[in-house]
Amino acid sequence: MAVSDYIPVIGLEIHSELLTNSKVFCTCSAEFGGEKNTRCCPVCSGLPGTLPVINRRAVEFAIKAGYALGCGINKFSVWDRKNYFYPDLPKAYQISELNLPICLAGEVPIEYEENGEKKSKVIRINHIHLEEDAGKLVHDDLNGVSLCDYNRCGVPLVEIVTEPDMRSPEEARVLVETIALLLQYAGVSDCKMEEGSIRADVNISLMRKGDTKFGTRAEIKNVNSLKSIYRTIEYEIKRQAQILDRGGEIVQETRRFDANKGETKSMRSKEDAHDYKYFPDPDIKQVNLRDEDLERLRAELPEMPRERTAKYIGFGIPEKEAKIIVSDKVISDFFEDALKTYDNPKSLVNFINGEILRRINLGEIDKTAPRYSPAEVAKLVQMSDTEKVSKNDAKEIFREMAEKGGDPEEIAKARGMLIVTDTGKVLEVIDQVIASNEKAVGQYVGGDVKVFGFLMGQCSKALRGAATPKVIKEELEKKLKSLCD
């Protein structure tokens, strides 16, 4: 049987770190990185006698994440302990939520292309809960030990649990991308895959076409890039199809994706007893949410991608271009700021999607810490539009802004790119050119208008930076016409 005879059934558990200042149950900094074990205290390192004290903003961010993903909110939320032993979990339990999670069911629409065809679908969210992250292990092969760094222990996470609604690797990839964008817009997570601030567990099973019952699933833990999510699913579809083709059975188990080999493999030894023994954490009082709290949090949500896209299309920006801008919150925010200086959306979008994104994609610019401000770029685009600099020079000026920073007008001046229209000078130069090119002028007057280009060139050369081509052309035409009369 071919792989295409099976329908993959995919559900995701997406973990995303929340952008709080402090950790979820203690006051250590929740920032990414830091020297090993320098962002730890008795609480997050699980010292005897310590107690978790829940961070208000973490709860608020989880609620906002819920709203961003169209979820209902539980007005009475209970934290539970999930008990298991692992060296990255110093308390030997993770504080999580089982029965009364903070966010209830929701829906996330996704759009993608398949064989050049536009598709859209709605993926259901089962719930979202707030929990704590675990630490990091570094393996020292030489000494045969693993080193535990607890800096990440206790960083707040939301776990977004989807229904098994996806049917292809692409749908799964696009969902994660879409959710990451929504969380970024909601301002609750930066969703940096490379820093592990968003990761997914992938649940996947296969069923034969025509079947209605799902097959046995495997869970692939901790897949940490969009590409890996796609490849994991691709690999699992093949692996499970092969087993089913042989008449074998899929083992319900936890697997790990090896990005180097592009394979998944079984993770935990079978002899180990597994039971998380969830129970309500007696150290944390249940949290009640009032309608007014929820209304306030919902009102605090900024403009979301869908609203922004619609707004941009309303500006007259083509849908495709609008979506490019919106698909990156940093860029979209930049655009919004630039508009405050120069209210010409079309022109700004052209410059951003053309010049700025090109250089970002080339790796020339760190978009999160550019040397230029939105106002400076807006000014540059405006200068180009009003022909204070030429289109080509505008690109050159931007290159310098990106490399060294600086005001576009100052750069243009310093590099002699600024066009100052001095009509007196223009007329003076035209008179000189006409005087010293009698032959050509004669030809023009005689009806050979082709020589206009030559004369124009002579004027432009002498007027570089002092006038726009448009002005030179107008004045020259006027002068020559007067000679014809």
Partner 1 sequence: MELEMVKYLSKLAKLSYTDEELEQAVKDMTSIIEIMDTIKDIDVTYDPYKDNHNVYLEDLREDVAQPSLPTDKLLQNAVNQDNCFVVPKVVE
Partner 2 sequence: MTEKTVKQLRELLDRKEISAPELTKEYLKRIETVDKSLESFITVTADKALAAAEKAQERINRGETAPLTGIPLAIKDNICTEGVKTTCASRMLENFVPPYNATVMEKLDAQDAVMLGKTSLDEFAMGGSTQTSAFAKTRNPYDISRVPGGSSGGSAAAVGGDLCAASLGSDTGGSIRQPASFCGVTGIKPTYGRVSRYGLVAFASSFDQIGPIARSAEDCGIILNAISGSDPHDGTSSRNAVPDFNEKIGKGMKGVKIAVVKEFFAEGVDDEVRNSVMAAIDTYKAMGAEIVEASMPSLKYAIAAYYLIASAEASSNLSRYDGIKYGHRSDIVGSYNDLIIASRSEGFGDEVKRRILLGNYALSSGYYDAYYGKAMGLRQKIREEYADIFTKCDLIITPTAPTVAYGVNENIDDPKKMYQADFCTVTVNIASLPAISTPCGYDSKGMPIGMSIVGRMWDEASLIAAADAFEKQFSRIPAKL
Query: Smaller CB distance to partner 2: residue 278 or 315?
Result: 278
- What is the Cα–Cα distance from 371 to 366, expressed in whole angstroms? 9
Query: Smaller CB distance to partner 2: residue 146 or 361?
Result: 146
What's the closest the beta carbon of residue 50 comes to partner 2, in angstroms? 7
What's the closest the beta carbon of residue 195 comes to partner 2, in angstroms? 25
Query: Smaller CB distance to partner 2: residue 52 or 305?
Result: 52
What's the closest the beta carbon of residue 138 comes to partner 1, in angstroms? 7
> Residue 91 touches which of partner 1, partner 2, none (CB < 5 to 8 A by kind)?
partner 2
In the complex, the residues that contact partner 1 under the rule CB under 8 A are 20-22, 27-30, 35-42, 45, 53-60, 76, 78, 85-87, 99-100, 137-141, 143-150, 256, 267-268, 272-273, 275, 277, 280, 285-290, 293
> Residue 141 touches which of partner 2, partner 1, none (CB < 5 to 8 A by kind)?
partner 1
> Residue 325 touches which of partner 2, partner 1, none (CB < 5 to 8 A by kind)?
none
Q: Which residues are CB-contacts of 369 (< 8 A; sequence separation ≥ 6)?
A: none
Q: Which is it for strands 93-96 and 80-83: parallel, antiparallel or unpaired?
A: antiparallel
What's the closest the beta carbon of residue 255 comes to partner 2, in angstroms? 20
Q: Which helix (H) or strand (E) holds 414?
A: helix 408-414
3-state secondary structure of 296: helix
What's the closest the beta carbon of residue 192 comes to partner 1, in angstroms? 19
Q: Which helix (H) or strand (E) holds 340?
A: helix 329-341
What's the closest the beta carbon of residue 465 comes to partner 1, in angstroms? 53
- What is the Cα–Cα distance from 133 to 23, expressed in whole angstroms? 9
What's the closest the beta carbon of residue 84 comes to partner 2, in angstroms? 9
> Residue 37 touches which of partner 1, partner 2, none (CB < 5 to 8 A by kind)?
partner 1
Query: Smaller CB distance to partner 1: residue 9 or 89?
Result: 89
What's the closest the beta carbon of residue 280 comes to partner 1, in angstroms? 7
DSSP state of 9: E
95-to-132, 311, 434 alpha-carbon distances in Å: 6, 41, 86
> Residue 236 touches which of partner 1, partner 2, none (CB < 5 to 8 A by kind)?
none
Query: Smaller CB distance to partner 1: residue 183 or 426?
Result: 183
Query: Smaller CB distance to partner 1: residue 142 or 435?
Result: 142
In the complex, the residues that contact partner 2 under the rule CB under 8 A are 42-43, 45-54, 81, 83, 85, 87, 90-93, 146, 148, 272, 275, 277-279, 281-285
Region at 262 (left for phi over 0; alpha for psi -120 to 50; beta for the rest): left
Contact yes or no for 127/89 (Cβ under 8 A): no
Q: Which amino acid is at 258?
A: D
- What is the Cα–Cα distance from 39 to 150, expressed in whole angstroms? 8
Query: Smaller CB distance to partner 1: residue 76 or 306?
Result: 76
- What's the burial of 63, exposed, middle or buried (CB within 10 Å: 0-12/13-18/19+)? buried
180-to-9, 36, 151, 198, 400 alpha-carbon distances in Å: 22, 28, 23, 8, 33
Angle at 283 between CA 55 and CA 13, to 5 degrees: 60
User: Strand (E) positions, 282-341?
Assistant: 287-288
Task: Provide the token pair at 177.
Answer: 């991308």
> Residue 36 touches which of partner 1, partner 2, none (CB < 5 to 8 A by kind)?
partner 1
> Residue 462 touches which of partner 2, partner 1, none (CB < 5 to 8 A by kind)?
none
- What is the Cα–Cα distance from 32 to 283, expressed in whole angstroms? 27
> Residue 93 touches which of partner 1, partner 2, none (CB < 5 to 8 A by kind)?
partner 2
Query: Smaller CB distance to partner 2: residue 1 or 92?
Result: 92
> Residue 207 touches which of partner 2, partner 1, none (CB < 5 to 8 A by kind)?
none
What's the closest the beta carbon of residue 61 comes to partner 1, in angstroms? 9
Contact yes or no for 149/134 (Cβ under 8 A): no
- What is the Cα–Cα distance from 8 to 13, expressed in whole angstroms? 16
Nearest residue to 229 via CA among 278, 181, 291, 176? 176
Query: Smaller CB distance to partner 1: residue 1 or 138?
Result: 138
Query: Smaller CB distance to partner 1: residue 144 or 453?
Result: 144
What's the closest the beta carbon of residue 106 comes to partner 1, in angstroms? 21
Contact yes or no for 153/191 (Cβ under 8 A): no
Q: Which helix (H) or strand (E) holds 445?
A: helix 438-445
Query: Smaller CB distance to partner 2: residue 150 or 334?
Result: 150
What's the closest the beta carbon of residue 139 comes to partner 2, in angstroms? 12
> Residue 449 touches which of partner 1, partner 2, none (CB < 5 to 8 A by kind)?
none
Q: Which is it for strands 254-258 and 117-132: parallel, antiparallel or unpaired?
A: unpaired
Angle at 237 between CA 235 and CA 241, to 5 degrees: 120
What's the closest the beta carbon of residue 37 comes to partner 2, in angstroms? 11
> Residue 443 touches which of partner 1, partner 2, none (CB < 5 to 8 A by kind)?
none
* Other residues' Cβ atoms within 10 Å of the Cβ of residue 469: 14
> Residue 59 touches which of partner 2, partner 1, none (CB < 5 to 8 A by kind)?
partner 1
